[in-house]
Amino acid sequence: MRQFPWGHIGRYNNFQFFFRKVFKGEKVQKISLESGLTCPNRDGLKGEGGCTYCNNEAFTPPPAGTHKTIPIQMEEGIRFFAHKYPTMKYLAYFQSYSNTYAPLPALKEIYGEALAFPRVAGLVISTRPDCLDEGILDYLADLSGRTYLMLELGLESHLDVTLERINRGHTFAESAAALEAASRRGIRTTAHMILGLPGETREDWLEQARVISRLPVDNLKLHQMQIHKGTVMARQYRNDPSQFRLFTAEEYASLVVEYLELLNPLITVERFTSQAPAELLIAPAWGIKNYEFSAIVEKLLEQRNTWQGRLFLTSDTIEFIS
């Protein structure tokens, strides 16, 4: 049976294999935390109102809560999972808003509170590419030499016209510069991209795969365009739904396969979809869990006899391990 360059028979470089390899098969669980920080396109530094698609309740599960300290959030998260697996290790996942958007001493305190807990194996820090200065990057590099650290950067699109439309408050050049700066320091990064943003086309999304493949991206999170209640996009969708390209699950799976074909095979794919709580989701409502969608993509890759990176740098030959 064919084995691909990433070391298994799956047709894309999946996160589960990477995770098991890094943690040597140990059970490791992310605990979502809220740091209490905000974003520069919310507090007036670069804009107000935040990104047009953003309702943080759509992806922040309990027990996170801005009224709770980091230690309390960690204690509650560990208590929730520990009864299942007493020897489980944990990653402190700073997920909501921009978790490097504070002076360095404040960040050191926040991260240190999480790392102080027994069985915490590292940090996952979600932020914006324009919220990283030299001092913060140097500190993250030092941390990554001592513990597991993943820096998640919300890029969302490679097109400046889209970034302006969704009120991101930064350019794609800033995104690329942040990735390069992190890479020079040996900091592992995850790029977050949305497929289906208003005004973009299939050709744009496939070009995005080529653009991302040329950058020092280690991991990739994709997700489909969703409309969440309480957002600017929800109002825009009510006023003019024709400006939105909301995929069926089948359409999106087909696009993901084409995207994967162009994607650098060295990039680990963490996910293809995002799941918002049903009470916050306006559209599209697929009723498919993330792992079920991944199985659909894997099956479609097999049916088309293709794989991640098949069309990446077509002048090169991608060797297979027998």
Q: Tens digits of per-residue pLDDT, 295-307? A: 999 999 999 999 9
pLDDT at residue 321 greater than cutoff 50: no
What is the per-residue pLDDT across 256-286, written as a single tens digit (0 to 9) for each?
A: 999 999 999 999 999 999 988 889 999 999 9
What is the per-residue pLDDT across 161-192, written as a single tens digit (0 to 9) for each?
A: 999 999 999 999 999 999 999 999 999 999 99
d(CA 232, CA 249): 24
Backbone phi, then psi, for 143, in 5-degree steps?
-60, -40
How confident is the model at residue 57, as a pLDDT? 58
Least confident of 79-88, 216-225, 281-290: 79-88
Average of pLDDT values for 114-132?
96
Query: Rounded to two decimals, what is the model's pTM?
Result: 0.92
d(CA 123, CA 120): 8
Mean of all residue pLDDT scores within the chain: 92
How far apart, in Å, are the Cα atoms of 1 and each of 30, 141, 208, 320? 33, 40, 32, 11
Q: Which CATH class is domain 15-303?
A: alpha beta
Least confident of 22-31, 54-63, 122-131: 54-63
% helix, strand, coil for the chain, step of 5: 35, 15, 45
d(CA 222, CA 237): 21
Residue environment code for 140-153, b if the CB has 16+ CB neighbours within 10 A, otherwise e: bbebbeeebbbbbb
Cis before 284? omega within 30? yes
Q: Where are the domains of the chain?
A: 15-303
pLDDT at residue 237 greater than cutoff 60: yes
